[in-house]
Structure 1
Amino acid sequence: MSGASETRSPKPSALNGFEETVKDFWNSRPRRPHSGRKLAGVAAAIGRRYGIDPVVVRIALVVTTIFGGFGVPFYLLGWLFLPGESDEVSGFESLIGRGRSSVSPAFAVVLMILTVVSAGGSITGSWFDGGGLISCALIAAALYLLHRSRGHENRPAPVAARTSYPAFTGNGAFTMTDTAEAPSPARGWDPLAADPAGWDLPDAPPAQEPRPTPPPPPSYQAPQRRPRSKVGSATFALAVVTAGAAVLAGLNGATWFDAQHIVGLVLGVVGIGLVAGAFARGGRGLIGLAIPLAIAGLVLTAAPFKNFDVRGGLGDINPTPQALTELKPLYQHAAGDIDLDLTKLPDGAPYSTTVSNGAGNTTVTVPANADVTFDCHTGAGEASCFGRKSDGVGEAALIGTDNGPDGVGGQKITLKVSNNVGDVEVRRD
């Protein structure tokens, strides 16, 4: 016993604040594994890093995609900024010359563009006001708390950068290899790369004994294939039925079933199928259906024409009412051109009508001396009403009253024209 106090290795210090936690998270980021991944391995990387089931991470991504849409940009960010299992750096860092990554620079640029587009769509357009920001905050808070509580566990080892050194072959020549050690000056090598022992001629190689004939290989047996899961087929069939039922409901007057909600319902069915496939080891092909659906949903929610209606028919229509009993209060069309002629109606009591078109051009012709109160709007296209014009995407509606060349005293008409995509024109006969 020397009486000296026993020396113990210090324990890892706890994370003491937000900034230190964020820095430590970046320095010990999860690495996307080669095995156990469904697409890019982001969910598997987070699950392994913090000791949770990757299925839970996938469910969270599906939920945040449906409610707010931020699950898609978060996954793309993970693909871009989390390095692979055998990569030196992430795809973004490789793009700016920080090291080697399995993500090519061209694909890293594509990921950046998709991230910006999907993040903008989830924040600026959502079924729930602020849903994208809320889901983003929830994901960030969950990662922060996970790293605070489990950041000291399963820390990935850094991948050393590859370096090439000349390796001496023993016959006076050098070869380049990634595994050879750097030459040491203590070995006293000749500057001309000649080993002094290399000047002696080598002895003749000993005679090789004949090798025994190997036994014949056993008969080949093909590996048994695992039974194919029916999750993908069942989910696809259910998604088709859901889409068809939603479209029929919209055509029959259910206003909730617009294009955005129909895409969301189908995407929800596909998401449930992906989660079920994660347990049953099937349904991987559903990813090819989920990605375009997610992009379509983001485009529809971010676009200025948010209420695209599936009700109404398809094709061109040219209604020309001859009497007030033939005039409809609403002319609604899903796609096609509408040319409404009101010049054949007799003068009399004031009347009003509404024209709603999903995709196509809409033209309304009124009598020359009518007093028209109008509301004209198109989500994307040109609107022209009695000389007033607007052109572009998301422009404000043209609202006002035009009494014609004779002034006040003509037939009173209240007219509302709304297009999602296409040109709108209200003109006089």
Structure 2
Amino acid sequence: MSGNISAANVEETLRDFWATRPRRPHDGRKIAGVAAGIAQRYQIDPVIVRVAFVAMALCNGAGVLIYLLGWLLLAQADDEVSAAESLLGRGRSSTPTALTILLGIAVIPATGFFVDGGFTMVGGVLLSVGSIYLLHRGRGQLNRPDAPAFTVGEPVSTDDQTTARVSPPAWDPLGAAPFAWDLPEPSSSTPAAPVVPAPRQVRRRSRVGVATFGAAMVTLAGSLVASSYSPWFTFEHVLGLLVAVFGAGMVLGALRGNGGRGLLWLVVPMSVLGVALTSIDFDGINPDRIGSTNAKPTSVEQVDARYTTSIGEVDLDLTGLPNTGSVTTEVEVGLGSAKVRVPADADVTVTCRAELGSVACLDKKSDGKDSHVEVSSNGADGEGGLKIVLDVRSEVGDVEVSRG
């Protein structure tokens, strides 16, 4: 290869990165300290590193894969080796062995091999290696860990009380008295020069932000044109491309030492919107059905087969029904909450689901993504009387079924 970049240079840079790789600090971490460690090692804003991970996470989850690998391969600040190296018996790590094994197992689905044929693995690894090379090549000299002490010809243990000198002191330039090199340097009678405050540096205006915004606009225009020829260019995918462009601009601005951080106000809301669009199914939301629905039927015939709203709340009170008969109904909410109250003595069979939210279904609860609870309860009087079959769900929001 021509120029300054060659295979030897890349290999040397990656070797130096591994030898001086970041350590995960205890302070400033959000999860495992991977982003905080990278930011601390290369003296860049940790927010930029976290945004870069979010941007890569939108690209088929590559950011999740890279974060898991960082968790496994980067040691904590006070550990001898990383969690993965400790599992191989190469030193001490405070990460529990069980957690290390779980992280290693989690790497397998994060590669995307069983979902998209390994695109995540290939793309994520190539992107991470390229980013590490550029980052370490530009800022690898910053905040390097202390080198071990050496004598002439052999290493000295860091556990020793004293550290041998590798060069003669100023008072013995010929090295005639090495036995006395541990004596302190004689003090100089020359008065110290007065400390003059350094002139205030004027921060140069960076062109990175303007250039990145221009590149994002070109990407947006190209995506709009390409959407006429390929169905891949959906709103979610185009948003992911824009986040990637802005994230690359922020990283470039951080490497140059100025500029780029102003893009944060664009990247963060776009990243949040991108995660929401890729995590939530909005197919069930109909703009024609927006608002709250409240119903309290007093007879079996008054109970509708289905109660729905796209955005709002459904509050269904069945406590006024008689103690005989059978009722089957569904409650579906796109964005909002679904609440159902049933009589204390009714025999109830209910299925509660929430794509993203919390579920409290009689005496069972579930929180998070894809919450799902199924309950059958005969009430306080045992089996017999009114029978109710419910299917209550919400795409995004809370689901609650309780006895009146």
Provide the TM-score with structure 2 as the length reference. Answer: 0.43
Provide the TM-score with structure 1 as the length reference. Answer: 0.41
Determine which structure has more spread, i.e. the larger CA radius of gyration: 1
